[in-house]
Amino acid sequence: MQVGLTHYLILSAILFSLGIYGVVTRKNAILVLMGIELILNSANINFIAFSRYSGMQLDGQVIAVFVIILAAAEAAVALAIVLNIYQRFKTVNVDEINKLKE
Amino acid sequence: MSLFDIIFYFFAIVTLVSAGIVVFSRNIIYSAFSLLFTFFGVAGIYILLNADFIAVAQLLIYVGGILVLLLFGVMLTNKVISVDIKTGTVQTLPALLLVAMTAGSLCGIFYVTDWKIVQSVPEVSTTTYSLGEMFMTTYLLPFEVASVILLVALIGAVMIARRDKQE
């Protein structure tokens, strides 16, 4: 069977599921962030695959660039928050951080 | 099986195996470094989809930026010298069930749906020119908003990360 749109979509579906699994099960906040990056990458594969198989209309690729931009911004802010949490609580395990105010 | 298919399966396997290591590995350093191979594999998939600009942007931003940022996060929030760099997991079994159901239903939907696809690709050498044109015409407003968002995120990240200890 020749590689077509379905192959890319199934690849991105599996990548998405792996990302969801990482986000749901991991305790470490940074590994949760890695799961989010996997999810964003799988969404990007979908966008670009549809862009390619709609006769090379580039709108999907433009959206993919925006997704990459937002991922960069999200990673920067989230890492800053995680560093702050570590300074305050001395841990980054999300199940131990359960206080709004000390 | 053509060469294109073989290359696709190579990149797909690299992506999925390293993503599996990211998610299932107990050692956070292994996770961070195998994320590198996931990003490389996804960039290869982009090249197979004729998205050369996105592939290079993926390498520059994800591998050069986000991954380094994540590694900094790992180094700064764990005691790297100590052996205890493993991380725990919670609720593995329900999550595995949920994820298997999600993946199964998504794959089923993707497989069953009759996509209206255009197989042929028009003769374009690179996408960069037309992408730039679209950024400056159709998508001008989102493009400018994205630049503002990047600026705000930059300033916000700096403000959050360095808080003075005066209280």
Q: What is the structure's pLDDT at B147?
A: 93
CA distances from residue A3 to A70, B2, B73, B105 in whole angstroms, order as listed? 30, 9, 38, 21
Chain B neighbors of A37, CB-CB under 8 A: 35, 62, 66, 70
Torsion over CA: B78, B79, B81, B84 (sign): negative
Question: Is residue A36 a part of any domain in this protein?
Answer: yes
Binned at pLDDT 50, 70 and 90, residue B78 comes out as confident
Question: Into how many domains does chain A fold?
Answer: 1
Which of B28, B127, B158 is facing A30, going by the closest CB pair? B28
Which of B38, B102, B131 is facing A20, going by the closest CB pair? B102
Q: What is the structure's pLDDT at B105?
A: 94
Which one of B8, B13, B23 would you mutate to disrupt binding with A, by most A Cβ within 10 Å of its Cβ?
Answer: B23
Does the structure show a pLDDT above 70 at B82? no
| Residues facing A54 on adjacent strands | B118
The type of residue at B45 is I
Q: What is the structure's pLDDT at B166?
A: 55
Q: Where are the domains of chain B?
A: 1-84, 126-167
Cα–Cα distance measured from residue A69 to residue A65, given in angstroms and rounded to the nearest whole number: 6
- Tens of pLDDT along B14-45? 999 999 999 988 888 889 999 999 999 999 99
Which of B19, B69, B142 is facing A38, going by the closest CB pair? B19
B108 touches chain A (CB under 8 A): no
Question: Is residue A54 a part of any domain in this protein?
Answer: yes
Question: Is residue A17 a part of any domain in this protein?
Answer: yes
Mean pLDDT of chain B: 87
Show which of residues 80-99 on chain A sit within 8 Å of chain B, judged by CB atoms: 80-84, 86-87, 92-93, 95
Q: What is the structure's pLDDT at A28?
A: 87
- Tens of pLDDT along B132-142? 999 999 999 99
Enclosing domain of residue A31 = 5-89
Two structure tokens written together for B140: 């001008």
Cα–Cα distance measured from residue A37 to residue B63, given in angstroms and rounded to the nearest whole number: 12
> How many angstroms from the chain centroid is the CA of residue A89?
25
Neighbours of B142 (CB within 10 A): 16
Mean pLDDT of A47-68: 90
Q: What is the structure's pLDDT at B79?
A: 66
Cα–Cα distance measured from residue B116 to residue A21, given in angstroms and rounded to the nearest whole number: 31
Question: Is residue A97 a part of any domain in this protein?
Answer: no
Question: Is residue A47 a part of any domain in this protein?
Answer: yes
- Give, as one character, the DSSP assignment of residue B26: S
Show which of residues 62-81 on chain B sit within 8 Å of chain A, judged by CB atoms: 62, 65-66, 69-70, 72-74, 76-78
Question: Is residue A100 a part of any domain in this protein?
Answer: no
B124–A54 C-beta distance less than 8 A: no
What share of chain A has pLDDT > 70, as a percent?
A: 98
Cα–Cα distance measured from residue B38 to residue B63, given in angstroms and rounded to the nearest whole number: 10
Taking one residue from A and the other from B, the number of pairs with CB-CB distance under 8 angstroms is 236
B161 touches chain A (CB under 8 A): yes
Question: Is residue A101 a part of any domain in this protein?
Answer: no
A50: domain CATH number? Answer: 1.10.287.3510
Smallest CA–CA separation between B89 and chain A, in Å?
Answer: 5
Q: What is the structure's pLDDT at A27?
A: 85
Show which of residues 114-143 on chain B sit within 8 Å of chain A, judged by CB atoms: 115, 117-122, 124, 127, 130-131, 134-135, 138-139, 142
ipTM: 0.90
Smallest CA–CA separation between A94 and chain B, in Å?
Answer: 11
- Domain B1-84 belongs in CATH node 3.40.50.300: no
Question: Is residue A102 a part of any domain in this protein?
Answer: no
Does the structure show a pLDDT above 70 at A24? yes
Residue that wins the pLDDT comparison between B88 and B113: B113
List the single residue in A with minimal CA-CA distance to B112.
A6
B89–A65 C-beta distance less than 8 A: no
